[in-house]
Amino acid sequence: MSDNHKNVNDYTQRLQRVVEDYEHTIEDHLNEDYLKQTEWPDKLADRIAAFGGSWSFIIIFAVFLTAWILTNTLNFIGHFDPSPFILLNLILSFIAAFQAPIIMMSQNRQAARDKRESIIDFAINYKAELEVDDIQSHLHRIENEMAQLKLLLQSQKLGNTEN
């Protein structure tokens, strides 16, 4: 492997480490800000929203509903909520009435956090675009210098063949 190829690989690896460190630093900073700005009711809402949007909740709730319906339709014990299950409807309405606003609060906080992250991503992308433009201008300058050198060498070559 040539020295130039090795230097390019070393530079690429160093650059990759710098980018990863920078990303982790930004992520840690965002997480610290989130933890500092989030109070316990907000954290509780996030936990409730996370549980309410999980397969665990769906499975537990399906088991609960099935057990409720079976208990009140079959003759295991006395029917405490006979069909059309008015008490069950009341419980479901109560859960929906509280769960929906809690999930919306959690989503609003997540949207605000996503907005901060997108602003940081935009700044990073803008900086990268400026760097690419700078590199392109250097490449164009080098290309022009190479063309001038080529012309100079060709003119010297023609001058040497005439003598």
Q: What is the pLDDT of residues 46-62, one digit of tens each?
A: 888 889 889 999 999 99
Domain ranges of the chain: 1-37, 38-162
31: tokens are 């997480």
Tell me the residue ranges of DSSP E strands in 84-152: none
Q: Give percent of the chain above pLDDT 70.
A: 87
Q: Comparing 34-38, 125-129, 139-143, 149-153, which segment has the lowest mean pLDDT? A: 34-38
Residues 6+ apart with CB under 8 A from 82: 72
